[in-house]
Amino acid sequence: MNQDQGRQATQGVDWPKYMQGLGRHKRRVREFLGLSQEQLARLAGVSQGAISRLEAGRGLATPLLVVVKINAALKRELGRFDPELLSDEARWLREHDDRSVPTAEGFRDITLTRDPGLEELIRLYQGMPSRQHERLLSVVRATATALAGGGQTTSNGTEAHADG
């Protein structure tokens, strides 16, 4: 996704409304767990005021670290519940790594493709000036053909044979 696509993806988002929804969600989970704002703040290592602002939807300037700490504490506490008591959605929240809750090992990168080599090739392609893309593709085509034991491939993608 380039910068323009990123801007388009967030254009039209009503951020205050989004934060109100996020705050409602956090409050519902906290209350379900039977925690006060003060208890959650202690578990998360943040201030009670940060919890209050986030839950009230006044957290437009809430640092990401505060949200991550709150998510981690809520997920940890949700993990204490018998999964059979929870809805499918709550079980999913409890059991899945949503990349907003750190693990003991730190942040775990996601795998973007099934083959790390393909991911590297795409990264190389994206990192090149667009005027060089066709050259890279020509090299890749020729290499793939050579490795497959076939004939040579020309820059336009057609196969050239040594015999004529």
Sequential DSSP letters for 124-161: HHHHS-GGGHHHHHHHHHHHHHHHHT--EE-TTS-EE-
**Contact residues for 102 (Cβ-Cβ < 8 A; gap 6+):** 68, 72
- Within the chain, all domains assigned CATH 1.10.260.40 are found at 13-95
Q: What is the pTM of this model?
A: 0.61
Q: What is the pLDDT along the chain (164 residues), one digit of tens a residue?
A: 555 655 666 778 888 898 899 999 999 999 998 999 999 999 999 999 999 999 998 878 889 899 989 988 998 898 888 888 888 888 887 777 555 566 666 666 667 788 888 888 888 899 999 999 999 999 999 999 999 986 554 555 555 554 44
Fold of 13-95: 434 Repressor (Amino-terminal Domain) (1.10.260)
